[in-house]
Amino acid sequence: MASTFYNEILTEHNIHPFHKHKMEGANFVLEGVNPSCGDDIVLSLKVDDTDKIVDGAYVGDGCAISQASADMMLDLVIGRTKEEALKLKDIFLRMIKGEITDEEKRQLEEASVLEDVSHMPARVKCAVLGWHTLEEMFDEDKAE
C-alpha cells in the first residue's frame, strides 16, 4: 500500500510536474548538479522584500527521484519565507537520515513519501539535490 502510494506520487510529479518550466524574473537562480549520476537542476525563485518565496520553478534532467523531489519541494516552499523554507529543508534532510518525528514528517506533506529513499543509499543524493540547491542559494545570499 505505502509503496503504491509512493509510486503514484512520484510518477505524478514526473509526468505532470507543476513547477518544471523556465521562469522569467527570478531574483534567485542556482544550478545544482549531482556529479555521481549527472542529475542536474536549475532552481529559480522569486523572493519578495519580506523574504517570502512568491514563485518558483526548475528546469533540468535527471532521474525520477531528483525531478519529483524538486517539484514537491517547490510545492512546499512557495508562499513561505526563506527561513520557513530552510526549516523544511532541515526536516527533509533529517527525514532522509531517519531522524524526524511524526509531526515533522507531516509538515513535509507529499515530500514525506521520499522517506523510503533513506533505505537506498545510491538514491539519497538524487532526493536531496533540489533541497541542497535551495540551501546553497540562500547561503550565497547571506554571504553577499
Q: List the grid coordinates of 88.
A: 523544511
pLDDT at 49: 96
* Residue 120 pLDDT: 84
| CATH number attached to the domain at 2-143 | 3.90.1010.10
In what order do the strands lie in the sheet containing 53-61? 28-34, 39-47, 53-61
What is the rounded average pLDDT of the residues 2-29? 87
Cα 80 from Cα 59, distance rounded (Å): 21
Q: What is the mean pLDDT of residues 20-45?
A: 94
Tell me what percent of the residues of the chain surpass a pLDDT of 70. Answer: 94
Average pLDDT, the chain: 92
Check if the beta carbon of residue 13 is closer than 8 Å to that of residue 126.
Answer: no
What's the predicted TM-score (pTM) here?
Answer: 0.92
Rounded average pLDDT over 118-141: 91
- Where does the pLDDT of residue 5 fall: very low under 50, low under 70, confident under 90, or very high at 90 and above? low
Contact 43, 56 (CB under 8 A): yes
Locus of grid cell 517570502: 52
pLDDT value at residue 83 = 97
